[in-house]
Amino acid sequence: MAFVKEFRNIREEMPEWEYLNSIGVRDLSGCSIYNHTSEMILDRERHYYFLQVDHQGLAYNDEEIYWYMLVLDGRKIELEVIDGMCNDKSKNYLEYHWNIRKINILDEDIKETYNKQEILQIIKEAFTAESTVSKGGSKKLGVVEINISCDMETE
């Protein structure tokens, strides 16, 4: 199976919330993640979850920074990302240019199951699914570029 983007009712608690909270998925300030979401990226067969856990608006350098958590069989990887979505009104498609600036492995034992190349491939699969056009969107997905400009770190 592969990652898919599931669209959710924002008013309903996400069924995965208790599990994600119990394994320590947190935002940058250490607080529990929201228990409601309008969309979720997951691969049910492989028990992988991918979600945005925090966001910083435009910084001094006009970058919008997002933090994602990738959960692989209960083990966590935190990602710092610059979202470069290009919504050119003259085109009938969207372009995504993801720049992954930091990969932080929070659970060291993940390296016993996955090698570096496998982790990078899973990250690319997750961001490709994240780039899926929103439910009811009027534009199709055009270009998806995923640039990993860092090495993996461990906490």
Q: Which tokens sit at 88?
A: 């050119």
Closest CA to 131 of 120, 122, 118, 140: 140
pLDDT category at 130 given cuts 50, 70, 90 is confident
Beta partners for residue 93, in sequence order: 140
Tens-digit pLDDT profile for residues 101-121: 999 999 989 989 999 999 999
Percentages of the chain per state (helix, strand, coil), in multiples of 5: 15, 40, 40
Query: What's the pLDDT score for residue 136?
Result: 52
| pTM, full prediction | 0.85
The DSSP H or E segment spanning 72 is: strand 65-72
Closest CA to 37 of 52, 22, 20, 26: 52
pLDDT category at 86 given cuts 50, 70, 90 is low
Higher per-residue confidence, 63 vs 126: 126
Three-class SS of 94-128:
EEEEEEEEEEEECCHHHHHCCCHHHHHHHHHHHHH
Give the span between the Cα atoms of 152 and 70, in whole angstroms: 13
Tens-digit pLDDT profile for residues 19-75: 999 999 998 888 888 888 888 899 999 999 999 998 887 766 677 889 999 999 999
The answer, yes or no, to whether residue 94 has pLDDT greater than 80, is no
Domains contained in the chain, number: 1
Write out the residue range of the structural domain in which residue 9 sits: 4-154
Torsion sign over Cα 20, 26, 31, 36: negative
The answer, yes or no, to whether residue 14 has pLDDT greater than 90, is no
Query: What's the pLDDT score for residue 131?
Result: 83
pLDDT category at 90 given cuts 50, 70, 90 is low
Through-space distance between the first and last CA atoms of the chain, rounded to whole angstroms: 30
Query: What's the pLDDT score for residue 115?
Result: 93
